């Protein structure tokens, strides 16, 4: 375990990603440092359901595009519940609406050490 992974130990993180290979790699990397991964969830409807119904979520990793559907409604729901959010996407930051200007943004391909650090900061508040 690294210094960056300690804040993620036993944290419940919802993974919203529709690309199987990316979702699998992220889930495996998060579990390797002790996070409890919920998902992956691969569509907007299931993501909204998970955000609204799952208690104890401590962070959400959210792809901006799921099967051609924009996930901004999911991001809004996450923020309404005051759950830390990180966008994990291939889209440039300037393509995100201004209301998400303070949401961390990790570009694909993912640098997992960077993502773990961003998640740790978000969870620490």
> What are the residue boundaries of the structural domains of the chain, listed by start?
8-124
> What's the Cα-to-Cα distance from 117 to each of 8, 65, 104, 109, 111, rounded to whole Å?
9, 23, 11, 16, 10
**Full-model pTM:** 0.94
Task: Say yes or no to pLDDT of 3 above 60.
Answer: no
C-alpha 81/C-alpha 92 separation (Å) is 25
Query: Hey, is 59 helix, strand or coil?
Result: strand
Residue 91 class from Cβ within 10 Å (0-12 exposed, 13-18 middle, 19+ buried)?
middle
CATH fold for domain 8-124: Rossmann fold (3.40.50)
User: What pLDDT, on the 0 to 100 scale, is given for residue 125?
Assistant: 84
Which pLDDT band, with edges at 50, 70 and 90, does 7 fall under? Answer: confident
Find the angle CA(115)-CA(30)-CA(27) to the nearest 5 degrees.
105
For residue range 57-95, what is the model confidence (pLDDT) as tens digits? 999 999 999 999 999 999 999 999 999 999 999 999 999
User: What pLDDT, on the 0 to 100 scale, is given for residue 119?
Assistant: 95
């Amino acid at each position: 375990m690294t210094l960056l992974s300690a804040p993620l130990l036993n944290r419940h993180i919802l993974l919203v990603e529709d690309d199987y290979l990316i979702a699998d790699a992220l889930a495996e990397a998060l579990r390797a440092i002790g996070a409890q991964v919920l998902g992956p969830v691969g569509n907007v409807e299931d993501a909204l359901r998970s955000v609204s119904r799952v208690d104890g979520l401590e962070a959400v990793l959210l792809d901006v595009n799921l099967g051609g559907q924009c996930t901004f409604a999911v991001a809004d729901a996450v923020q309404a519940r005051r759950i830390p959010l990180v966008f994990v996407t291939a889209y440039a930051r300037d393509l995100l609406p201004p209301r998400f200007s303070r949401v961390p943004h990790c570009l694909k391909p993912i640098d997992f050490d960077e993502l773990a650090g961003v998640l740790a900061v978000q969870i620490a508040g």
